[in-house]
Structure 1
Amino acid sequence: MKSHLPGHPMQIYLIRHGQVEEGYHKVFGGSRINMGLSPRGVKQGEAVAEWLKDTPLDVMYASPMLRVQQTLAPMAAQRGMQPQILPGLREMDFGDWTGNTWDEIQSKFGMSAFDWLEIIESNRIPNGEDVANLKSRVQECMLQIIHAHPNGKVAVYCHGGIIRVILALLLEVPLAHLAHFNIEYGSISLVELLPERKHAVEIELLNFQPPIK
Structure 2
Amino acid sequence: MIVLLRHARTEGGRGMCVGRTPLLLSPEGHVQALDLAGCFVEIPWARLCSSPARRARETLSPLAARLGRVVDILPALDEIDMGAWDGLPFEVLRERFPEAYAARGQGLGRFRVPGGESFADVADRAMAVLEELARGPQPVLAATHAGVLRAVRCRLTGHPLDDLFRFTPGNAQCTVLGTDGGLSLAAADLDAPAVRELF
* TM-score interval, smaller chain: 0.7 to 0.9
Is it true that 1:20 corresponds to 2:3 in the alignment?
A: no
Change (3 A) 1:194 1:112: farther
1:83-102 superposed matches below 5 A: 83-102=71-90
Q: Which residue of 1 aligns with 2:157?
A: 171
Q: Which residue of 2 aligns with 1:7?
A: none
> Per-residue CA shift, 1:90-114, capped at 9, x if unaligned?
111112321123444444433898x
Q: Among all aligned residue pairs of Structure 1 and Structure 2, give the percentage whose two residues are the same amino acid.
A: 25
> Per-residue CA shift, 1:20-69, capped at 9, x if unaligned?
233x23422212x2222121111111122222233221111111111111
Change (3 A) 1:118 1:70: farther
SS in 1 for 2:42: coil
Q: Which residue of 1 aligns with 2:189?
A: 206
> Per-residue CA shift, 1:134-193, capped at 9, x if unaligned?
3332222112111113xx211011111112222223334332343222112222222223
Q: Which residue of 2 aligns with 1:30?
A: 19
Higher relative contact order (CA 8 A, sep 6+): 1
Change (3 A) 1:48 1:26: farther
SS in 1 for 2:52: coil
C-alpha separation between the residues in 2 aligned to 1:104 and 1:37? 25
C-alpha separation between the residues in 1 aligned to 2:106 and 2:171? 21
Write the letter of the residue equivalent to 1:204: A
Q: Which residue of 2 aligns with 1:3?
A: none
SS in 1 for 2:63: helix
Residue correspondences, number: 192
Is it true that 1:146 corresponds to 2:134 in the alignment?
A: yes
C-alpha separation between the residues in 2 aligned to 1:141 and 1:77? 24
C-alpha separation between the residues in 1 aligned to 2:139 and 2:192? 19
Picking from 58, 63, 66, the partner of 2:54 is: 66
Is it true that 1:156 corresponds to 2:116 in the alignment?
A: no
Picking from 194, 208, 211, the partner of 2:180 is: 194
Greater shift after overlay, 96-105 or 154-163? 96-105
Normalising by structure 1, report the TM-score. 0.76
CA RMSD of aligned residues (A): 2.8
Greater shift after overlay, 124-133 or 38-47? 124-133
For structure 2, list consecutive stretches of 5 or more residues without a partner in the other structure.
Answer: 194-199
